[in-house]
Amino acid sequence: MRMRRRPLYAAGVGALLLAHSPAAAAPRTYTVVIDKLKFGPLPAQLRKGDTILWVNKDMLRHTATAADRSFDVDLQPGKTGKTLLGKTGTFPFLCRFHPGMRGVLQVK
């Protein structure tokens, strides 16, 4: 029971925080397209709470996997996946199957 209540509590606090910080930008979703074994242009102005929508347009299965494993999204050909950026920092990531594919997300 304890475990199940936590997210609700956290969400409540989050809502409270948002309600009391009208200056904070609303979270946004940014699309990163994957094709021909490359991650497309990465958004520069990422903020904590934003979401990355990974769109795999390639014929191959890929992943978007953080070096610190804070996210690991499996992306079948033609499919999408999401990563919620829950903390600030610098996050190098790669495709586990094709580690030549890599990038860095900067979250402020």
Residue 98 touches another protein, criterion: CB under 8 A: yes
**Choices 9-17, 41-49, 82-90, 94-102 (CB under 8 A): range interacting with another protein:** 94-102
Contact partners, residue 78, CB within 8 Å, separation at least 6? 56, 57
74 binding another protein? (CB under 8 A)? no
Is 77 one of the binding residues for another protein (CB under 8 A)?
A: yes
The residue (of 37 and 66) whose beta carbon lies closer to another protein is 37
- Asked whether 98 and 60 are in contact (CB, 8 A), the reply is yes
**Shortest reach from residue 30's CB to another protein, in Å:** 25
Nearer to another protein, 30 or 97 (CB): 97
Told to check if 48 binds another protein by CB under 8 A, we report no
Task: Round to whole Å and give the CA distance between 106 and 47.
Answer: 8
Q: How far is the CB of 68 from another protein (least distance, A)?
A: 21
Distance of alpha carbon 57 from alpha carbon 75, whole angstroms: 10
Could you give the count of Cα atoms lying within 13 Å of 54 in the half-sphere of its Cβ?
A: 29
Point out which residues pair with 56 in neighbouring strands: 34
